[in-house]
Amino acid sequence: MYPEAGRGWYCFRCDRGGSVYDLAALLCRLTTESATVIAHNAPPRETDMSATTATETLTYHRTGTKMSTINYHQTTTSTPEQLVAGLTDFGPGREKLFGKSADSYLMVHDQGPHEADVTEGSGGVWEHLHYDWSDPTRVVLTVTDSNVWSGHSGYVYTVTRRPNDTTDVDVVNVRGGKNLKGRMLALVLGTVGKRVLVKEFAKTVKAIEARHYGASPADSQIPAMGLVC
C-alpha cells in the first residue's frame, strides 16, 4: 500500500493492484462495492471504550466516524503490577515489548506517576497517546493525534488477579480512521486483522513476563477475583 491513500496498492509479485477498496475486498472476501459501502456508510452508534466482551464488532461513533472495536484476552504469570509496569515502560527497547512501537518513533512528551503523553508508531503510522493508569486495575490509552486514527480511538487494558497466581488481561482496542487510509486499516483490523493483533499481544505478554518487573504478589493491593465457571 502506498503512503498516499489515493494511490491505492500494488503487488509486484502477483502483478495486481487497485484502490484501497479493492484491497479491503480481497482481504475480507467482499465485492469492491461492498467494501466501499462499509467504509463510508452506516447508521451511527455509540462506541463503549470500557466494554470488555469476548467478541469483536464493527461499531460507529455517534459523530458518524466508523469504529472497529476488537476485544481479546490473555492469561499471564506476571502480576497485575508487573503487567502495568510493562505496558507503561517507555524506556529504550520498548519495541521489544510492542512490535508496532518502533524505538525510532517513540517520544515521551510528558510523564507523571500515573499518566503519560507519548508518541508511538511504526511503518509510517503514528499516534500521540495519553496513558492513564491511575486505576491500578486498568490502563487507558486515548489517541489525541495521529496521521491515520481519529480522536475516538484508543485502548483499554483491564487486569484481574486470579487465585492461582496468574493474571487475566482483557483488551479493548478501538480504531477509527480520520482519513481514507485510516478507514481501510480500521476495516481490516476489525475483520481479518484480529488474529494478527492477538498474536502480537501474546508476544508482548511473554516479553513482559521475561523482564521480571519488580512487584511481587505479596506487594499487591489488587485483590484476587474468585474463579467463575
Phi and psi at 129, nearest 5°, equal -115, 140
Record the cell numbers describing residue 20, joined without a space.
484501497
Pairing of strands 57-60, 66-76: antiparallel
Q: What global pTM score does this model have?
A: 0.69
Domain definitions of the chain by residue range: 1-41, 44-219
Contact 96, 209 (CB under 8 A): no
CB-count exposure of residue 213 (10 Å: 0-12, 13-18, 19+): middle
Record the cell numbers describing residue 63, joined without a space.
459523530
The DSSP call for residue 226 is P
d(CA 130, CA 146): 12
Position 12 scores a pLDDT of: 66
Assign domain 44-219 to its CATH superfamily. START domain (3.30.530.20)
d(CA 12, CA 15): 5
Size (the chain), residues:
229
**Type and span of the H or E element at 10:** strand 9-11
The residue with cell 486498568 is 138
Position 186 scores a pLDDT of: 87
Residue ranges of alpha helices (H) inside 52-179 are 80-87
Contact 76, 169 (CB under 8 A): yes
**Type and span of the H or E element at 121:** strand 115-122
Per-residue pLDDT of the chain (229 residues), as tens digits, is: 555 555 666 666 666 677 655 665 555 544 444 444 444 444 333 344 444 333 333 344 444 556 888 999 999 999 999 999 999 999 999 999 999 999 999 999 999 999 999 999 999 999 999 999 999 999 999 999 999 999 889 999 999 999 999 999 999 999 999 999 988 888 888 887 888 999 999 999 999 999 988 744 434 344 443 333 2
The residue with cell 462495492 is 33
d(CA 105, CA 195): 24
d(CA 223, CA 161): 7
Percentages helix, strand, coil for the chain (3-state, rounded to 5) are 30, 30, 40
